[in-house]
Amino acid sequence: MVEEDLNQVVGNSNYNGEADPESNTLNQPLVKANRTLSSTPLALVGTKVSHIESLDYEINENDLFKHDWRKRSKAQVLQYVFLKWTLACLVGLFTGLIATLINLAVENIAGYKLLAVGHFLSQERYATGLMVLAGANLGLTLVASVLCVFFAPTAAGPGIPEIKAYLNGVDLPNMFGATTMIVKIIGSIGAVAAGLDLGKEGPLVHIGSCIASLLGQGGTDNHRIKWRWLRYFNNDRDRRDLITCGSAAGVCAAFRSPVGGVLFALEEVATWWRSALLWRTFFSTAVVVVILREFIEICNSGKCGLFGRGGLIMFDVSHVTYTYHVTDIVPVMLIGVIGGILGSLYNHVLHKVLRLYNLINEKGKIHKVLLSLTVSLFTSVCLYGLPFLAKCKPCDPSIDEICPTNGRSGNFKQFHCPKGYYNDLATLLLTTNDDAVRNLFSSNTPNEFSMGSLWIFFVLYCILGLFTFGIATPSGLFLPIILMGAAYGRMLGAAMGSYTSIDQGLYAVLGAAALMAGSMRMTVSLCVIFLELTNNLLLLPITMIVLLIAKTVGDSFNPSIYDIILDLKGLPFLDANPEPWMRNLSVGELGDAKPPVVTLQGVEKVSKIVDVLRNTTHNAFPVLDEAELPQVGLATGATELHGLILRAHLVKVLKKRWFLTEKRRTEEWEVREKFPWDELAEREDNFDDVAITSSEMEMFVDLHPLTNTTPYTVMENMSVAKALVLFRQVGLRHLLIVPKIQSSGLCPVVGILTRQDLRAHNILQAFPQMEKSKGRKAN
């Protein structure tokens, strides 16, 4: 669509002869709209194109809200605060317990599978070993894929882009339901235990958010707890805060990094933040750490089956002491540059792969399952077959660890080698992904892995990382990127040899951090996560350098991987930084490109309300009144803006049949008798089942008590860039445009801006001429 608009602009002789559009002032119209501003709210949620709505983060200050706020006692306020902290604690508690369950299940299932394969390897029954490995992996993948495809499509993928969109103000159907959470848990266990190149870190973030959402609303939609205290959380604002706590708790459960989890929520997923939310988020992550620590103590006593050293922690290198010198800054900077280049390249290729997978997924559910099974089979064959290409290496008699071994874990897998020798590539491939990371991060092992094996591992996981993400299973991006980054970091350390004093294990840590920053573009949270994992503050300076360089290099090529996924799904995410050309377009011009605004009177006829609901899809309508007393500078007989009423409230009025036989304003007690304040927070926009008789059509409805009398408004000459910043930071759903000069006979509302109206892509469709100034630097 944008290319077609550009072609039209090139052939527009009226525009070609004009001056630079960026030299125009906002006092004059910059360009004339070619078409109506498009605002089709459709996006891909799971595998289904769904109708997308925005969330009501704004406080609806109508008469009912004001009355409830005035009558709240101190005890009720304390109940509200106490319940907030209680829910934050429960979010951390349940997230920690479920994370423990997932890790225990993955470690034991994968452990028994690898023990069976090792048994056949020791008997030199290599074909049987491959069949056992491939069969087990196919079965686990089948369970995860079938659950996602047929029961909860929203459980596929990491879920982090959707959480970002939700906290940005986008309502996603079925994204945080009980079914989604259950499928996410079981699917994560199956997919990770199947040895696929994906992690449980992203799914844990989604699981934590699901727990928070379910706790806040008192359970599922069909089985909610009707507890009186929970009515305080029957709104989008408090649910947003809880989901923020859940996302932070999920990261903490994945990395055992409480501060890193809080910073991840702040840096990556949250759009709106305040100090009180910071404290509750930190409290949730602290509870997660306590739960994980307790279960680690239990598992260390041998009560968790085949639970290994990793499990609850992705990798633990806190016992390692790293040293480096000033001369090592150059190779450290090189790691950052390579990480930024590889990260942006990974994002670019993954973008193409996801588009290809979308074409395959459109063919039907069976094709989605078959795609997952194909990737699983390819992964199994590679993991089992490639170690045959590696040469056997003799065991070092000076080491304390058992060598060789065909057990579940260990740094020296025997595979097909004779006694006293080990296969370094099998050590990395025939193990869990967590143990592979731990092996790559191991220190004081400069000769453990050959350069050839590291190259094979790196290329293989680049391929698997690209083709595994996007299949119909729960999948995280953290682990594949860490594996690739650790491999290239260790290769760089081996290539440097005696020219550097940095251990190869530290090179692997820095490589993983660099590639994550180059792909995900996170800095502060990643730095803290790696510091909390390594438990070594000496790594802080070089980790900061690597992350900053990698992010800077990556930003010069393309957006972060999560932004790319948001764009692919069509989710209307509003970025923090407006386009420069938005400063040269006014909101009044956007309003002119939209259909005329639909308004209602303060006391409106039922027939008019029914007609508006049937013939429009708008979610809010300005309510106008005749000015009783002329204000200073306002002509007699002018119309005033009373406020904004939501579509859901109009539907609720019709369902409750709150009609008047005469045109009059109601008393305050009449409204409170019919509408409890917490009931208005429920979304009820299904108008199809409302039957209105012909006699009721002639009655009236007083909209004043239900109208938000303090909506956010902007002057028609405000720039789009400034309006976008206001819309995003406050968390609005609707933004009213008011005229600069009000006079008799003129409507006090020029238009209404929604999320879709402020998206750059939609604006360029209505104003294609702005494309010419898109790439220029604003004055």
Average pLDDT of the residues in 14-21: 38
pLDDT score at 549: 97
Instruction: Check if the beta carbon of residue 441 is closer than 8 Å to that of residue 476.
Output: no
pLDDT(745) > 90: no
* Separation CA 301–CA 35 (nearest Å): 70
pLDDT score at 525: 94
Gyration radius from the chain CA atoms:
30
pLDDT score at 226: 67
Among the ranges given (163-167, 499-503, 696-700), the one the predictor scored with the smallest mean pLDDT:
499-503
Q: Confidence band (pLDDT; 50, 70, 90) for 101?
A: very high
For all residues of the chain together, what is the average pLDDT?
Answer: 84
pLDDT(307) > 70: no
Instruction: Check if the beta carbon of residue 238 is closer than 8 Å to that of residue 230.
Output: no
Q: Confidence band (pLDDT; 50, 70, 90) for 50?
A: low
Q: Return the structure tokens found at 498.
A: 């005696």
pLDDT score at 397: 78
pLDDT(561) > 60: yes
505: closest CA among 444, 450, 429, 546?
Answer: 444
Average pLDDT of the residues in 453-475: 94
Average pLDDT of the residues in 595-602: 90
Instruction: Check if the beta carbon of residue 238 is closer than 8 Å to that of residue 217.
Output: no
Instruction: Check if the beta carbon of residue 36 is closer than 8 Å to that of residue 766.
Output: yes
pLDDT score at 314: 45
Average pLDDT of the residues in 461-477: 94
Name the pairing type of β-strands 600-601 and 620-626.
Answer: parallel
* Separation CA 85–CA 72 (nearest Å): 19
Among the ranges given (169-183, 387-401, 589-603), the one the predictor scored with the smallest mean pLDDT:
387-401
- Which position has the token pair 């304003």? 665
Q: Confidence band (pLDDT; 50, 70, 90) for 408?
A: low
Average pLDDT of the residues in 125-129: 92
* pLDDT tens per residue, range 72-86: 788 888 888 899 999
- Percent of the chain with pLDDT strictly greater than 70: 85
Q: What three-state secondary structure class fits 670?
A: helix
650: closest CA among 605, 711, 706?
Answer: 706
Average pLDDT of the residues in 703-708: 90
Q: Confidence band (pLDDT; 50, 70, 90) for 28?
A: very low
pLDDT(394) > 60: yes
pLDDT score at 52: 77
Q: Taking the C-alpha atoms of 208, 111, 197 and 138 in order, what is their torsion angle to the nearest 10 degrees?
A: -100
pLDDT(27) > 50: no
* Separation CA 685–CA 436 (nearest Å): 51
Q: What are the Cα distances from residue 539, in Å, to 437, 492, 502, 506, 635?
A: 18, 18, 11, 9, 69
Total-model pTM: 0.88
* Separation CA 774–CA 437 (nearest Å): 43
Q: Taking the C-alpha atoms of 51, 55, 56 and 58 in order, what is their torsion angle to the nearest 10 degrees?
A: -140
Q: Confidence band (pLDDT; 50, 70, 90) for 317?
A: low
* Separation CA 547–CA 520 (nearest Å): 11
* Separation CA 33–CA 35 (nearest Å): 6
Average pLDDT of the residues in 659-664: 87
* Separation CA 732–CA 170 (nearest Å): 11
- Percent of the chain with pLDDT strictly greater than 90: 46
pLDDT score at 723: 95
Q: Return the structure tokens found at 192.
A: 């990770």
At 65, the amino acid letter reads: F
257: closest CA among 249, 265, 268?
Answer: 249
- HEC string of 194-243 equals CCCCCECHHHHHHHHHHHHHHHHHCECCCCECCCHHHHHHCCHHHHHHHH
Instruction: Check if the beta carbon of residue 159 is closer than 8 Å to that of residue 205.
Output: yes
Q: How many residues are listed for the chain in this entry?
A: 779
Q: What three-state secondary structure class fits 622?
A: strand
160: closest CA among 243, 273, 256?
Answer: 243
254: closest CA among 182, 198, 302?
Answer: 198
* pLDDT tens per residue, range 214-252: 998 877 766 666 666 677 777 888 899 999 999 999 999
Cα angle: 329, vertex 331, 335; to 5 degrees: 110
Cα angle: 180, vertex 183, 185; to 5 degrees: 110
Going 524 to 527 to 533 to 539, the CA torsion angle's sign is negative
Q: Which residues contact 3 (CB under 8 A, 6 or more apart)?
A: none
Strand partners, 413: 405
pLDDT score at 95: 96
Strand partners, 43: 50
* Separation CA 370–CA 375 (nearest Å): 9
Q: What are the Cα distances from residue 495, in Å, to 26, 290, 348?
A: 58, 41, 27
Residue 353's Cβ-side half-sphere holds a number of Cα atoms within 13 Å equal to: 18
pLDDT score at 167: 94
Q: Confidence band (pLDDT; 50, 70, 90) for 629?
A: low
Going 601 to 603 to 607 to 609, the CA torsion angle's sign is positive
pLDDT score at 17: 38
pLDDT(19) > 50: no
Average pLDDT of the residues in 131-158: 95
The total of other beta-carbon atoms located within 10 Å of residue 139's CB is 15
Instruction: Check if the beta carbon of residue 377 is closer than 8 Å to that of residue 386.
Output: no
* Separation CA 459–CA 674 (nearest Å): 66
* pLDDT tens per residue, range 433-448: 888 888 888 877 778 8
At 504, the amino acid letter reads: Q
Among the ranges given (133-142, 257-266, 626-635), the one the predictor scored with the smallest mean pLDDT:
626-635
pLDDT score at 322: 64
Q: Taking the C-alpha atoms of 476, 480, 485 and 491 in order, what is their torsion angle to the nearest 10 degrees?
A: 170
Q: What are the Cα distances from residue 571, in Å, to 45, 171, 273, 480, 561?
A: 8, 10, 21, 25, 14
Q: What three-state secondary structure class fits 441?
A: coil
